[in-house]
Amino acid sequence: MCGMVSDIAEREGIQLPDFSPQAVDTLRTQILPRSPRRRTPRPYGYSVVDLELADKVQDVVFNDPGLDVVVMTSALPQSQDEVSPFLDGALRRIADRVKAARAQVMLAAPLMTDYGAFAASTAKLSGCR
């Protein structure tokens, strides 16, 4: 998803800020697995399957001094029935980091989804816009 967003932004002439040198260094040397093909870290490709890694990446990205806004793509549950203990824990960890973030974090659906009232209330509780 990150690569697609940056490719579309470039095609449309929208400039996206780079991560700060400190954030890049932290992501490359302390958090992300080594990948010789990448010039710029795109951390979320790895973190989808490793929640501990996702937590660390979000801490760095949400608090990068070079970023004022972070757009995070995430599917939200449509009802309480869809919230497993695993998902509940993940959403609570994200909410805690969003509330403490230096940057404004905006939650965006990865697909064209009409989120209902439950999903909207979940996003609001997290501090996301």
- Model-level pTM? 0.70
Cα–Cα distances (Å) from 86 to 52, 78, 105, in that order, read 13, 16, 22
Contact call for residues 29 and 56 (beta carbons, < 8 A): no
| Token pair of 78 as six digits | 């449509």
Query: Which residues are paired to 106 by β-bridges?
Result: 71
Residue given tokens 């940056």 in the structure block: 6
Residue given tokens 């979000």 in the structure block: 58
Render each residue's pLDDT in the chain as its tens digit; 129 residues: 555 677 888 889 988 888 999 999 999 999 887 765 555 545 445 445 677 888 899 999 999 999 999 988 777 777 778 788 888 888 888 889 999 999 999 877 666 555 566 666 666 665 555
pLDDT of 100 reads 94
Q: In angstroms, how far is CA 16 from the centroid of its own chain?
A: 15
Which value, in Å, is the radius of gyration of the alpha carbons in the chain?
A: 15
Q: Give the Cα separation of 87 and 77 in Å (integer).
A: 9
